[in-house]
Amino acid sequence: MTYKVFCSFGVVPDLAFGWFALTSLRATLTHCTYLLMLIYPLTVCRGNKLGSRGTEPATKITFGADPVAFIKTANFIYLLFCLSGMMFKDKVVLVTGGTGSFGSHIIHKLLEQKPKEVRIFSRDEEKQDRMRYDLNDLKNVRFVIGDVRDRSAVERVMRNVDVVFHAAALKQVPSCEVNAIEAVKTNILGAQNVIDAALHNDVKKVVSISTDKAVEPVNAMGMTKALQEKLMISANCYKGGKKTVFCCVRYGNVVGTRGSVVPLFKKQIAGNKPLTITHKGMTRFMLTLDDAVKLVFLAYENGIGGEIFVLKSPAHKVVDLAGVMLEELGAKNRKIVEAGIRPGEKMHETLISPTESLRTIEEKDFFRVLPQIAVPGIEKKYPKYLNKNMFRFSSDSARMMDKEEIKQMLKVSGWL
């Protein structure tokens, strides 16, 4: 209650001014940011059950904050991070898969923080050309054509790099099912090339982007991403004196990206066609590109090596998403047709399995999944850590968004 009143009456700016007399503006904003992270559950999540500390069965636990309030608060926290300039100022940052949905979004966020150079590494020269035009040929942005499968190309692009965000991957479940070896080459061997190049070039930190499909995987894409996580985690064990830190983030469906159903629904509505969903009982996690970037930056700031950072994302029923888009876009054809579950699809996705939950630390807005193996930095900070409350964080047990919340998230993301 004290924190809630403290924030509501604007004492934070006064306290920040007081701190400024003793510290730099950068440190001041850092303190304010962490203070907001501390009070966030009390100011915007009243009435929501955020974690698994209770004694209820795992299937009854409700995760995920109020999506709209979460977005607004997270945006302000992120603004403080940017104003403090404490993350990427004067650093050389490499983004693999930098022309994809996530890659292009994080590039813009990185450029706000005045890095020395941002390198965009991808195979798609057309997308690179478009991005170069959109960015007005900024002098601190360097575009490099290449493939993570090519070890020599990865080593070259990583010279003098401080930070790597590894987003390059094959992500389409159906195509990976019928081209499994290609998923292996990119998602597994490509990741190992990134690891080797990072160690060779003394990169300070690598954050790898993973997916909910890597948890208890049933498809080739999920299996290869699960092995990618294992590679990144185990890389912390054979650094040979190098100081490179490897960690991962894991999240679900990002609104409007290449793997999202939102663009398909919008196209079907524009063409006056019925919406096709695979199954009316299917659920998925849902977050915005801004949420994904914030989680990645959080992992960069907090990772000591070997962790997987998982956002407390809300979930939704796919049929509710379809209904909202039909209503809000004024569709003339209101039919929703079940097309059947595609090869490799699950009814519900999982972000943390019961086995992983035993090594999971719950924070305010995210989970920190510790490795099953002994990683030196983790063992030092969390000696013999064991969570006694086993749980599953899945899209059918997470906090389910109602239609109004889905509508607001689509609006925030620019799809309505």
Q: Which residues are catalytic?
A: 213
Nearest by Cα to 352 from 366, 337, 369, 365: 369
Amino acid at 94: L
Burial 132-142 (b: 16+ CB within 10 A, else e): eeebeeeeebe
Give 272's contacts (C-beta < 8 A, 6+ positions apart).
331, 332, 333
The answer to whether 219 and 187 have CB atoms below 8 angstroms apart is: no
Task: Compute the distance between CA of residue 359 and CA of residue 202 in angstroms, rounded to an integer.
Answer: 29
Give 263's contacts (C-beta < 8 A, 6+ positions apart).
256
| Sign of the four-CA dihedral 118, 119, 124, 128 | positive
Q: What is the CA radius of gyration of the chain?
A: 21
DSSP labels, 106-124: HHHHHHTT--SEEEEEES-
